[in-house]
């Protein structure tokens, strides 16, 4: 799995509305929940919560920084089902000790922007990788965003995408 995964996901999920060349430019790898490889280098990745046999449901992201995993869902997480079991198994198999996740939602429930939020948070965790700790995780993730869905969150996301040259309308 590699950047080819990004291209196949882009072809399968046109509603994601960003082309694979732009994803490749950002150096992002994406996986469906049941296609996580046995191991991955430390870093940030995008995860679709659907299985590879499905049509795609919701994009999230995660970052491995030993000994922790940081998981971000733009709809927020609840303690009973997130992160997905496949990611929890991956963490256990690779001796990651703790999975930290965001509880606050930043995306409207009727919004199609989950993929954009996943890219944004993935890039944010890459940018601040050296400063990423359990104590700084929430601050890094929510910097500039309200801790609830809002139009200002969408505007911040649009401005960021525009600056990266991957803008959307």
Q: What tokens appear for 100 in the block?
A: 């930290």
Name the phi and psi angles at 12, rounded to 5. Answer: -80, -25
Q: What's the mean per-residue pLDDT of the chain?
A: 83
Q: Give tens-digit pLDDT for 93-124.
A: 999 989 999 888 899 888 888 888 999 999 99
| pTM of the entire predicted model | 0.85
The CATH code of the domain at 3-163 is 3.40.395.10
Output the pLDDT for position 169.
58
The answer to whether the CB of 100 falls within 8 A of the CB of 121 is: no
What residue segments make up the domains of the chain, in order of their start? 3-163
């Amino acid at each position: 799995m590699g950047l080819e995964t990004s291209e196949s996901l882009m072809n399968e999920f046109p509603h994601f509305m960003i082309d694979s060349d732009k994803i490749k430019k950002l150096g992002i790898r994406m996986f469906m929940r049941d296609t996580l490889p046995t191991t991955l280098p430390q870093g940030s990745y995008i995860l679709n919560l659907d299985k590879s046999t499905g049509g795609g449901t919701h994009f999230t992201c995660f970052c491995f920084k030993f000994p922790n995993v940081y998981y971000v869902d733009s709809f927020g997480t609840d303690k009973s089902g997130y992160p997905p079991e496949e990611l929890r198994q991956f963490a256990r198999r690779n001796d990651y000790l703790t999975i930290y996740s965001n509880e606050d939602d930043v995306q409207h429930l009727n919004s199609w922007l989950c993929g954009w939020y996943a890219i944004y948070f993935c890039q944010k965790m890459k940018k601040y990788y050296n400063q990423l700790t359990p104590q700084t995780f929430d601050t890094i993730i929510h910097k500039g965003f309200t801790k609830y869905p809002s139009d200002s969150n969408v505007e911040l996301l649009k401005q960021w995408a525009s600056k990266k040259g991957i803008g959307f309308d």
